[in-house]
Amino acid sequence: MKKNTLTMLALVSGILMIACASVQAQSKTTRANISFDFAAANNAMKAGEYMVQQVGPQTILLKSFDRKSQAYVTTPQGVNSLNRRPQRLVFRRYGDSYFLGEIWTTEFRGLRFAASKEENAIAKSGERPQTIEIALR
């Protein structure tokens, strides 16, 4: 009886440790220094230093360190890569307009965001976007 109780306690402790590690990994916070104004999830964001935190399986919080800009960016579209690449933000640039297109939260997994109405209007003019990548640290 005592042995079964100790075994069960050890098992529950192990499961709790794994769960805590998983939550900690999901809520990992990184930083990015973005040198231009941009749009994220229909929010106008100013240039500056940003905290990037995954707060859910498909949701990222972007928050400026000066606390003037913040956006929750959600998408149903995860993307995977077979090639190892650094964690990064990927922007689509049309002239002087920048739109957040992807966030790569690991070396092999990221989130892709749909174009906003504003970006679609610019794209309809025939202008091709340039891709800008900013490393997360």
Mean pLDDT, the chain, whole residue set: 83
Residue 57 lies in a domain: yes
Angle (CA) 100-104-30 rounded to 5° is 90
Residue 18 lies in a domain: no
Tens digit of pLDDT for each residue in 26-83? 457 899 999 999 999 889 999 999 999 999 888 999 999 998 889 999 887 788 888 8
Number of domains making up the chain: 1
Angle (CA) 112-23-9 rounded to 5° is 150
Residue 115 lies in a domain: yes
Range of the structural domain that residue 78 is part of? 28-135
Residue 46 lies in a domain: yes
Residue 118 lies in a domain: yes
